[in-house]
Chains A and B, each alone.
Chain A
């Protein structure tokens, strides 16, 4: 039925797409998933996201939306069950802050740590570890960023340690250290154990193969 139709254009190996899949799953929203070939983007994708030409794109009632974090906000505002963002404006600001921090600071330094070599790599890895350690502030006194249950920031951030674990099998550096980042480590394992989260993760061996190709290119 066009009225309620939800379509998601994505790529199986994209963390940004995974965020949206998780959000839809938490809300119990059925969607039609369209797998894009990023080396040969569909006319539909180019039409729906002309500015960035990227996935994910959520199409709801025929209207397209791009950028994963704001897609999450839209999903949360449109379907009220199982809220992702907290009720208090202050807590909402914190959730948005940590999610943005991961995209703006953590991700680039993590990518640099895995793609550079020699001294540059050591420096990038150091920076990446510092950024990851900072995330523990957001977990202060809580099991999840969302408190007792997962929320917006958990969904926004939860992919990162999974990707890091896999990349660490390709490039021999250690970023998430259980000793110096105990909160982050236990948060991640609790998050990844949740059934709807676990079942949507890209298969490990497939992601490993993909990551190897990406990092060794």
Chain B
């Protein structure tokens, strides 16, 4: 039994990446749910640099940064590999994982948008990234970014798309528009229905219920 303790909060896309990876590898672990607004002293000790989740504590040793954790797990447990075998393809996968970070600002921009104009602007910004993915990664109509099976790119980008579709409900705005991004839309359908991902996909109602207070908190303080 491996001594694996991921610290995170269940609704964070960065934590999702770690949980999905542990599940895809069939690993058992003890989940440590952190409170985002009241972080444990343990967490601050394990990640003194960023003071953020997720942190994976393995045998008492902490690893930080979600995609670094994902690669760590993949290297230690090579079954059901999450990176391409070919070194060039592997580098390309890492390129798209790095690219996914460009989408991070879109999330708070969308959450914080209120007027129709603000929403439009935030959506357009997200769409710039969607177009790159649609044109560069999915043009051969592959099922996943990893081809026939899920890889680190699916995990990285899938976690953000959980948020995008949650925001669609929260803000009453269409983001993943099938007519505009047919390949991306299909990909996300494939991803959320894939074995393991499906059983570990955050519940839609629970996500809405959790995210709503954040919206209200922001509106109250603005």
Contact = CB atoms under 8 A, between A and B. Distances in A.
A74 B87 contact: yes
Contacts of B65: 96-97, 100
Interface in A22-70: 50-51, 60, 63, 65-67, 69-70
A93 B91 CA distance: 17
A101 interface: yes
Size category of the A interface is 20 to 34
B21 to A, nearest CB: 13
A90 B91 contact: no
B27 interface: no
B68 interface: yes
A138 to B, nearest CB: 9
Interface residues of B, number: 25
B139 interface: no
A93 B136 contact: no
A197 interface: no
A30 B87 CA distance: 19
A67 B92 CA distance: 10
A79 to B, nearest CB: 10
Contacts, number: 60
A70 B95 contact: yes
B75 A92 contact: yes
A58 B99 CA distance: 17
B63 A71 contact: no
Given A70-B95, A89-B76, A100 B68 contact: yes
Contact of A93 (B50, B69, B90): B69
Contact of A73 (B49, B91, B99, B136): B91
B136 A90 contact: no
B88 interface: yes
Given A100-B65, A134-B49, A70 B98 contact: yes
Given A67-B98, A97-B65, A74 B88 contact: yes
Contact of B91 (A50, A74, A134): A74
Nearest to B97: A70
A71 B132 contact: no
Interface of B: 48-50, 58, 61, 63-65, 68-69, 71-72, 75-76, 87-88, 90-92, 94-95, 98-99, 132, 136
- 10 tightest CB-CB pairs across the interface, nearest first? A70-B94, A74-B91, A89-B75, A93-B72, A93-B63, A77-B87, A96-B68, A89-B76, A65-B91, A93-B68
Interface of A: 50-51, 60, 63, 65-67, 69-71, 73-74, 77-78, 89-90, 92-93, 96-97, 100-101, 105, 134, 137
24 contacts: A50-B136, A63-B88, A65-B91, A65-B92, A65-B95, A70-B98, A71-B91, A73-B91, A73-B94, A77-B87, A89-B72, A89-B75, A92-B71, A92-B75, A93-B63, A93-B69, A93-B72, A96-B65, A96-B68, A97-B63, A100-B68, A105-B49, A134-B49, A137-B49
